Each structure stands twice: as structure tokens, then as C-alpha cells.
Structure 1
Amino acid sequence: MNNENRGNALRWCIVIVLIMIAETFVFNLAHWRTTSHDEVSTANMVVGSGLKNGNGSFEIDDPENAFVEISIKANNGVYPRLESVKISVNSSEMKERESVDYSVFLKKNGVWRNSSQGAWYDPSSDVFSYTASPITQYAMLPGYATDSTRVYFKGEIGKKVVFESVEFNRTIPFTISITRVGIMLLVGAFAIYFRPRSLLYQKIFDWSDIRQMISICAMGILVCIGFVALCTFTHTEDARFNPVFNHWIDPYQYQHLADAFLNGHLYLDLPVDPQLADLSNPYDYEVRHGLGAEGSQIFWDYAFFDGKYYTYFGALPALLLFVPFQAMTGHWMPTSLAIMVFGVIAIVLLLALVVSIAKRYFADTASWGMVLLMSIFAVLAIDLTYFGFMTDFYSVPIVASLAFTFGGLLLWVHARKKYGNLSSVRIFLGSLLMACNLGCRPQFLIACLLAFPLFWDEITVSRELFSKKGLVSTICAFAPFFIMAVPWMWYNNARFGSLLNFGANYNLTGFNMTEVHPSRFAIPGMWFMQLFQLPLLSGAFPFVQTINNTLPSPSEPSLGGYFMIVPAALIGLLFFVFRETLKKARVYGLAWILVVSIVVVSLVDVSSAGITNRYHGDFAWMAALLAILTIFSIESIMGRFENGGGCLQIRSAFITVLVAFILFTVFIYGFGSFASGRYSALSTTNPDLYLTVKSWFMGFYAGQA
């Protein structure tokens, strides 16, 4: 066993010991806090008048009095201190994704006080929740001595409340979570193999090395599995009325579009309310809001034109996936499945693109470790975590465009064959995939500009493009865009009477998109917040909170600005500092096109549709590529030799910062998935998962009396 293997064996031992300590004492702190406590004996439980007894459960009849009161018996004249509470539930009576909220009130000196009113009152901890999962049915209390308690159940009239008993000072079970251990093992492996002195950084990347090839493929498989798992976190809700907007939210745009295509027309088979059809200006939000309050059925975020509903989202994903799936099975394709398919394809092509960049432009300097690290960074940086979480129709065209764009770039990068000639077939196929963005997310067409720096020598030196001898290749480069443009222009004209109108401005949303636009004076502030707004961190689960801006513009709850969520991407903005190295690698022009495109796309997005993490996907892939080019350039400047020579300390510091940035992004995206303020919040859509993960940190909650 060599020194590296012995060192890694020792590091793994340390990691395993730390995991055992964390699993035993940190994540099971609630168990140890409740192993020694006062015995509690209770008298009869009195059900408040606000709870109506049902068949094996209760129903809230009066929210003000929806409580049960439990008297506590004294032990030798002394009332016990309450350390924990357990709401026992018959799991078979609770529906999937059903949760019950409650608050515990303790009687002290004749006054009822919420159990959260400890050393410092925290309104956010007023309410506990439980599901059918046993671990979620426990909660920590601050240790007050009392003679009586009340458990108030929360909800509207008619809310079903399932519970069998309320018990106090039950020892919270000691649990070992395979998921938790697996996450810690992954973090430990990341820390070991990507530490600054890792042997991986001492080996030049070589795809012919079987170990390196296997490591890239294994990492890709692991990332794909993680993405697919993420797509199962949330669940699509059925069409429902939103009382805030007074519109109906129907999440099945692509399914309705597949229905329309299979039925031989372009409009969607959604019922059109006569009052909406009679409006002279159906895009006036205030008028629609009023009609919705009166009972009119108006659908949110659908394009409405000439008395019919349409979707303004790209139709190509429907033609490629939703229509064939429905034709073969007779059922609608789940939106999450479409996102899984496009997402996995995008991940595979992105990793192949990272490998190709390293091989073509940094063949003599890119290390095995840095290629692996950039592969992990790239997947995190392109905003796929957001789209895996938000498995709704908004995500479909963006994820599809990511797959098409990465495929097009990969074919262009490999357009030159091994024996020297340009491949017209690869150029054609690359352009065809790029042109597919017309039918998905047209913003991605800006990626076509990257062809000029990629083929600069072929255009200006060898004249294999834009010349007589390169006529075939030139035609192959441009023909796919004409081929793809014709059907989409016909599609637009058939629906909206315009070749270039995709219908986005006919969207029935929270303002009139045909007339109203954000103030141009607010756009700089909006753009800054979209890119550089700091995340909001807290000391309690989920540790990452959503942010709502106060600018007079459309916005959605956000985890922060892109470059603050993905700080490693900031390194790409320093590309001009390393221009000599980038020029030597022949990618300096590519870097400039990327940075200009980032600015253009992000400005267009915020000026037309406002601030949201969803639109990070339009430019995040360019920021990721820019950062990858810059990081590979920095690595080549620092130099790596087998014995770690050349700028060793600076290189170690740089890798340490880079690894810390990537771990920070994992933290933000990971815990940000549980933020309660975001759309499709897990606390609502998957409360069992949310409360189970929250229980991992239960021991840190509740003060002490």
C-alpha cells in the first residue's frame, strides 16, 4: 500500500468516526435529552367544543376551540416538568401527504402560554406538525412544570384531525438513518478526494485511462440518480382555484397540448368562461380578478387569444415526449417524467462537454481531479436543482433546451475529425439541435453565437466555412435553422396571426403583458437582485429562507441571486485577468461571447418577466462554461507536477476556496429545497419528507425552563 492509499485509509477512518459521532449524538440529541425526565401521569382528556368527533378521527368545527385539554397529576405534591410530547396516530387513518398542525399550551400561574415562549419568544415555532411517520409525531417542550396542558389543532372548518392519544415525556427514539449516513459519506468522500493535496490533481486528465473514464462515468451515474430522486420530492397538484389571484391553476399545460395535437387542432381544450370571452380587454388583471371572485373560471398563465386558450411554451417537448407517450399508453405523461428524461440527457451531454473542453483546449494541463470537480460544479451551476424540484410545465422547455444546447455544442466541438477534416454531418446535426431551441426556449438560440469563436480558424484561416470550398459545410451550418424555423413560424401564424409571436404577451398573469412592462429605471436594480442578491440564512431548520424583493416588478420567492447561490461562478467573471492563458488555449473569444450573452439574456429576462430563480436557467449554463474555462486556465498557470511542485501553496488555497464554494452551493440548494416560502414548498406538497428531515435537528429546538 503506497502513501496515498494509506493516507486515504486513515482519512476514511476519521470520516467514519465523525459520522458515528454525528449520528449518535448530533442527530439523536433529542433522544439523549429525553432519556432522563419526570414521570407524567395524566387525568382524563377533555375534548374542546371546536372538535367534532368523527369515525376514528375528529373534525374541526370551531377553530377557536379546537383543542384537547389534559390535566397533569402531581408527583408527591410536585408537578412534573414536560420535556416532550407525542401525538399518537393510527397511520392507516392518515392519507398520503396529509399533515396536522398543532400548538401546545401550558398553564403557568393560572395563565395559558404557548410552549414556544421560552427564553426568547419565536413566533415561527408556535406550531408543530405531524404525519403518519412515527418520528414526526414527537416534539420537544421547554421543560415547564404545569398542572394542565392544551393541544390546539390548526386548520379551517372541516379539517380532519387524526390522533389517538397525547402523551408527555416519552423518550424520543434513537434512530439510525441510512439516508443521513449516505449523505455524510458522500460529503466525506468529496472532502477526501478533492482536498487540495489529492493525488487526483497530480495526474493529467487522460480519457484513455480506464480508471479516469470509470470515475467520470460513475460520477455521472450518481448525479443522474440524484436528479431523478430529486424529481420525486414534490408532487403535481390537480387543477385548483387560487383565492389570492382568483384564477384557476392548472398544471397540465403540456398534457392539454398533447390532447390538442392528437385531436387535430392547436388551441387547448379548456372551457372558456363566457364572461372572459366577452371582455374587450381580457388581459386586464383587475377585471379578471373581479370576475374570478364572482365565480368565473379563468385559467392562470395560459395564453388567451381570440376566444381560445393556448400555451406559449415551446411545443417541441410535447411532440417528442407527451404526444407519443399518450398515443401509446392512453394516459397523460407525468410532467416529472419528462423533466427526468430531458434532465438526464442534459447531465450526460454536459459531462461529455466538460470532458471535451478539457481534452481539446487544456489537454496538457487539465488534471483528472479538476475535470471531476468541474463536472460536479457544472451540474450544480446550470440550475438543474431548481428544475428537478419544480417539476411543473415551467421547467420542461428550459430543461429540454439545456439538453439540445449541450448536444449542439458537443457536436460542434467535435466537428473536426481525427484525421483533420471538418465533418459536415456533425456541423449539420449540431445546428439542428441548436435550432430545436426554437421549439423549446428561444432564449437559448443565443448559443449559436458560440459557433463563431469555436470555428474562428475555419472561418478566417483555413477558409473551410463561408467560402466556396467550404460551401457544403456552410450550408450544413445554416440549413437546419431554416428547416426548423418554417414549421414554428407556421405554428405561430396559425395561432396568433404572426410569424414571430409565440404568444407570451397574451399570458393571463398578474399584470397586462400586452401593455405594461417594468420601469426601465427599475431594471438595473432587478438585474442586480437576479444576479447578486445575498441568500437569507437562519439558525433553524431549514437554515435557508426565501427572499421576496420589494421592487415594483414581477417576482417570485427566491433563494438569492445566481452568483451568490453559485459563488464558484464568480471566478468566471475574472476571465480577462487570465486572458493570455485563455488566448493560448484559443478560447478567449469564446469567453467574451459567453459573458456578453449572460448580460444580454439576464437583462432581457428581468425586463420582460421579472425576478425568479427559474430564469437563472437561461444564462446559468453560460456562466458555468465561463467559470470552467477560467478555472482550467488558472490551473494551467499554477502548474502541476507529479510531486506537487509549482505554486503549491497558492494552488492549495485556490482549490480549498473552490471546494468550499461548491459545498456552499450544495448547502443552499439542499436546505433551500425545504424552505417553506418557495413555490411547491415541501412543507405542503410532501410534509412527510419535510418533517422527517426536520426531526433530524429536533434536539436543538425548545429552550429550557
Structure 2
Amino acid sequence: MDRGASGRRRATEHGIGAPPPLKPGAATRWVPLACIALAIFAVQALFTTGGTFRFGAGDDYYDQLGEAFLGGQLYLPTQPTPQLLALADPYDPTANASLALHDASLYRGHYYLYFGPFPGVVHAAVRVLTQRSVPDGPVQMASASLATVCFWLIVERFRRKHALRVQAWVTLLLTIGFGVGGSMLYLVARPAIYHEAVLVAMACTFAALAALSSAWSEGVLGARAVLVCGVLVGCAIAARVTYLAYAVAMGVCVLAWAALGRACWRTALGRFAAFAAPLIVIVGLLLLYNWARFGSIFETGLSYQLAGPSLSGGVNPMTCGGNLGSFFQLYLASFPRLQLHYPWVPFASGPSPVWPVWFPREWMVPAAGEITIEPPLVSPFLLAPVSLLGLTAPLAFLWGVSLGRSLLLAAIPTLGGA
């Protein structure tokens, strides 16, 4: 008998020379995270598919735009009807109501989109990979899921770097509040071009923040990280131009890296250049995209929009300054109308939500007539009802630390949604 083999067997039996046992939870610590993530994704899919878990047809605007890009054109494949083109004023909403492609832009006999083009690029890429069209629903669902994962990464990295005394379950509760908060579920529950642009931009923004936070948490702001961050936030701007504000904020963070003494200004400016370069390229492409369609780098198509007031001098009730007070009350102080069947969040023409008693209904009627009222999603009663308790947190100094801690913990699950 081999003495060496016998000795190794005896040593192993006594735990000598054996591989170290796995730490409790080391191999399974991702299992709870995966289960929670799957539960969040399931709820998002429930709302995206209208409770069927089968993606149906929504708006196909961006899918048409992706098809157009692959065909080497910038206008939609759908062509205006001869009846629409024959109108004296094809932009008159009373005349084109049954003839026009809603909310598209009509210019020189073709339909265009005034929305950001990047989701169309996503649809084009999916078409290349799958050789089939894809509705809005899967793209919106994927964007919401990506944003949720990136949200968890950002908060968890911050916790591990700066708040180790905070337990990991706090991050999970915040992520749940973000992933299934009122605004997120409303966005995915409406498969439409309006929400797809916002969700794609949001996913790109959180992915950019995740890339930036990864480098920041390691203490070395690498050129690759800021370059990826710049590309992603540039894609967000290409989906929703208002996300330019996030690019400004991230650029300030890159420069603050030097101001905080983390690096010399020469290195910081180099990192800022790596961040800004893709942004400049993407913004330049957007301006070129506008010029190729309408002959002006600043024209997005809104001037040729086939929705709302006539271009001959109508007043848009959605942007009329006289309605700002009504909208402020509507979005901040009204109770939402929810129902137990799809669509869970209904739409209505005119001021039909149930108003709080302290705001009489007649105060809420817009001055410019009937408009489409969307649910008051920024209302604290929908987004984060429990987080209102956070307003009483200063009373913790009077009532005791334990009560204040309880109030804050009660607010955590919904603060993410806000």
C-alpha cells in the first residue's frame, strides 16, 4: 500500500490538508438577491404585459424607426394618406383626426418622429439579431430591469464604501421601492413611444452612474470607466434630450474628483475629456440627424407635429402658462384612480380623477378646455405614501431615537420609488 496515499487519506479524515470549508452563506449569498430580483422582474412583467405575461402589440413607432434606419432612411415606412396631404392645413387637428399618424411629424410628404432616436437604434439592433420586429413592451421591460439592477449596484457600493454600519437589507428595500414603485410600474404598464423613450433614457443613465460609481468606489477614476459613462449618458440624451442635465452633473463629479484631492488637475482634465468626447460626438450626431431631416440642426420635428393645436395659431393647453397652477395642484395633491384590471392606471379626457375635498374640482379644470389627463404620478399619495412619515423624523429628537429610527425604516421601502 502506498504510504503517501494512506497518509494523505488519514490527514484528510482529520481535516489536515483538506480544502477549507465554504464560509456559511459564501456560496449562497446571491440566492436571496436572485430571488428578489426575479420577483421584481415578475411584477414589472406583470404590468408590462397587462397581466398576461405575453408581450402584445403596442406602439410600433420606434420599431418602424429601426426598420427605417436599416433601410437607409430617416422617415417612417408608413406613408401619409393622399387625403391627409390634400388638406389645406394638414396640421389642423380637427381636419386630420382620422387621417394622420398620431403625434408623428409630417414634413415634405413623409412621417418623422420628434422623439429621441436612440430607442430606434435599439430596435434596429434587435431586428439584426433576431430577424424579426419587436414591440415596445420587451424593450421597456428590459430597460426597467436594467435600471433596477444598476440602482442596486450604485446603492450597495455606496453602502460598502461609506456606510458599513448600514445592513445590506436596507439596500434591498430601497431597490424594491425603486423597482416596483408607482412611477416605474406606470411607465412599464403603458407600451407606448412616450414611455419607451423615458425608460431607455433612464436605463442608460443608471448604467452610466453605475460605471462612474464603480470607478469612484475603487478610488481610481479610470479613463475607461468615464468613457463608458460618457457613452451611456450620451445614449440617454439621444433617447430623451432633457437628460442633458444628468450629463452636466456627472461632468461636475469628474472634475470634483480632482477638487477633492484625489488626483492632479491634469489627470482630472484628461478624465473629463474622456467623459466629454463621446458626449460631443453623440450630440453632434443628433444635430446632424435634425439637419438631414428638416434642414435645421435645432428642428426636432415639433414644428410639424400632427397633434395638439393647429400651427396656424392655436393654444396648446398642455403648455399654456395659465394652467400651471392647475397642473401643480393636480400632480401634487390629487388621489390616483387605480383599478384591479389592465390598465391598472386609467386615462381619462378631462379632469376626471377623484379630487381631494380641500381642492374643489372647479379649481382643477384647465382654462384651455379638455385635455388628456394622465395620472398624478408625482403625487406623494401614489409614489411614496409611507415616506410621508419621513417628514416627522425631526420629532425623533423629542420622542426618542428609537421612534425616529422606526419612522425612517418605515419610509425606506418607498423612498426608492420617490
Any idea what the Cα deviations from partners look like across 1:48-84, whole Å, max 9, x if unmatched? Answer: xxxxxxxxxxxxxxxxxxxxxxxxxxxxxxxxxxxxx
Residues 282-431 of structure 1 correspond to what in structure 2 (within 5 A)?
Answer: 282-289=90-97, 292=98, 297-320=99-122, 322-361=123-162, 363-381=163-181, 383-416=183-216, 418=218, 420-431=219-230
1:258 to 66, 70, 79: 66
Indicate conservation of the 8 Å contact 2:211/2:225, yes or no.
yes
Structure 2 equivalent of residue 519 of structure 1: 320
Cα distance in 1, alignment partners of residues 167 and 249 from structure 2? 25
Any idea what the Cα deviations from partners look like across 1:141-199, whole Å, max 9, x if unmatched? Answer: xxxxxxxxxxxxxxxxxxxxxxxxxxxxxxxxxxxxxxxxxxxxxxxxxxxxxxxxxxx
Structure 2 residue 46 is the aligned partner of structure 1 residue 229: yes
Q: Using a 3 Å threshold, how does the CA distance of structure 1 residues 269 and 545 change in structure 2: closer, same or farther?
A: closer
Cα distance in 2, alignment partners of residues 224 and 542 from structure 1? 18
Cα drift, residue 561 of structure 1: 4.2
Q: Using a 3 Å threshold, how does the CA distance of structure 1 residues 508 and 489 change in structure 2: closer, same or farther?
A: same
1:566 to 383, 396, 418: 383
Indicate conservation of the 8 Å contact 2:251/2:272, yes or no.
no
Structure 2 equivalent of residue 13 of structure 1: none
Indicate conservation of the 8 Å contact 2:233/2:247, yes or no.
yes
Indicate conservation of the 8 Å contact 1:493/1:501, yes or no.
yes
Whose helix proportion is higher, 1 or 2?
2
1:647 to 380, 401, 407: 401
Cα drift, residue 650 of structure 1: 3.0
User: Percent same amino acid at aligned positions?
Assistant: 20
Structure 2 equivalent of residue 679 of structure 1: none
Cα drift, residue 525 of structure 1: 2.2
Residues 50-61 of structure 1 correspond to what in structure 2 (within 5 A)?
Answer: none
Equivalent residue of 1:288, what SS? coil
Structure 2 equivalent of residue 488 of structure 1: 286
Residues 113-128 of structure 1 correspond to what in structure 2 (within 5 A)?
Answer: none
Indicate conservation of the 8 Å contact 2:56/2:135, yes or no.
no
Equivalent residue of 2:63, what SS? helix
Cα drift, residue 471 of structure 1: 3.0
Structure 1 equivalent of residue 250 of structure 2: 451
Q: Using a 3 Å threshold, how does the CA distance of structure 1 residues 388 and 544 change in structure 2: closer, same or farther?
A: closer
Residues 549-628 of structure 1 correspond to what in structure 2 (within 5 A)?
Answer: 549=351, 550-552=365-367, 554-558=371-375, 561-567=378-384
Q: Using a 3 Å threshold, how does the CA distance of structure 1 residues 422 and 331 change in structure 2: closer, same or farther?
A: closer
Q: Counterpart of 1:485 in structure 2: which amino acid?
A: V
Equivalent residue of 1:268, what SS? coil
Kindly report the root-mean-square deviation, in angstroms, between the aligned alpha carbons of the 2 structures.
Answer: 3.8
**Which has the higher Rg, Structure 1 or Structure 2?**
1
Equivalent residue of 2:90, what SS? coil
Cα distance in 2, alignment partners of residues 648 and 507 from structure 1? 56
Cα distance in 2, alignment partners of residues 274 and 400 from structure 1? 34
Q: Which stretch of the first structure deviates more once superposed, 372-381 or 448-457? A: 448-457
Q: Using a 3 Å threshold, how does the CA distance of structure 1 residues 268 and 452 change in structure 2: closer, same or farther?
A: closer
Cα drift, residue 376 of structure 1: 0.8
Indicate conservation of the 8 Å contact 1:436/1:484, yes or no.
yes
Structure 1 equivalent of residue 21 of structure 2: none
Equivalent residue of 2:95, what SS? helix
Equivalent residue of 1:449, what SS? helix
Residues 673-692 of structure 1 correspond to what in structure 2 (within 5 A)?
Answer: none
Cα drift, residue 429 of structure 1: 0.9
Cα distance in 1, alignment partners of residues 212 and 325 from structure 2? 35
Cα distance in 2, alignment partners of residues 301 and 542 from structure 1? 21
Cα distance in 2, alignment partners of residues 485 and 546 from structure 1? 35
Q: Using a 3 Å threshold, how does the CA distance of structure 1 residues 324 and 497 change in structure 2: closer, same or farther?
A: same
The TM-score normalised by the length of structure 2 is 0.75
Indicate conservation of the 8 Å contact 1:313/1:440, yes or no.
yes
Q: Using a 3 Å threshold, how does the CA distance of structure 1 residues 328 and 519 change in structure 2: closer, same or farther?
A: closer
Q: Counterpart of 2:132 in structure 1: which amino acid?
A: H
Structure 2 equivalent of residue 271 of structure 1: 79
Indicate conservation of the 8 Å contact 2:156/2:168, yes or no.
no
- Structure 2 unaligned residues grouped into runs of 5+: 1-24, 352-364
Whose strand proportion is higher, 1 or 2?
1
Structure 1 equivalent of residue 240 of structure 2: 441
Q: Using a 3 Å threshold, how does the CA distance of structure 1 residues 658 and 337 change in structure 2: closer, same or farther?
A: closer
Any idea what the Cα deviations from partners look like across 1:329-370, whole Å, max 9, x if unmatched? Answer: 443212222222222222211221221232344x13422332
Cα drift, residue 652 of structure 1: 2.4
Indicate conservation of the 8 Å contact 1:343/1:384, yes or no.
yes
Cα distance in 2, alignment partners of residues 369 and 388 from structure 1? 26
Cα drift, residue 394 of structure 1: 2.5
Cα drift, residue 390 of structure 1: 1.2
The TM-score normalised by the length of structure 1 is 0.47
Structure 2 equivalent of residue 45 of structure 1: none
Cα distance in 1, alignment partners of residues 68 and 339 from structure 2? 47
Cα distance in 1, alignment partners of residues 119 and 347 from structure 2? 30
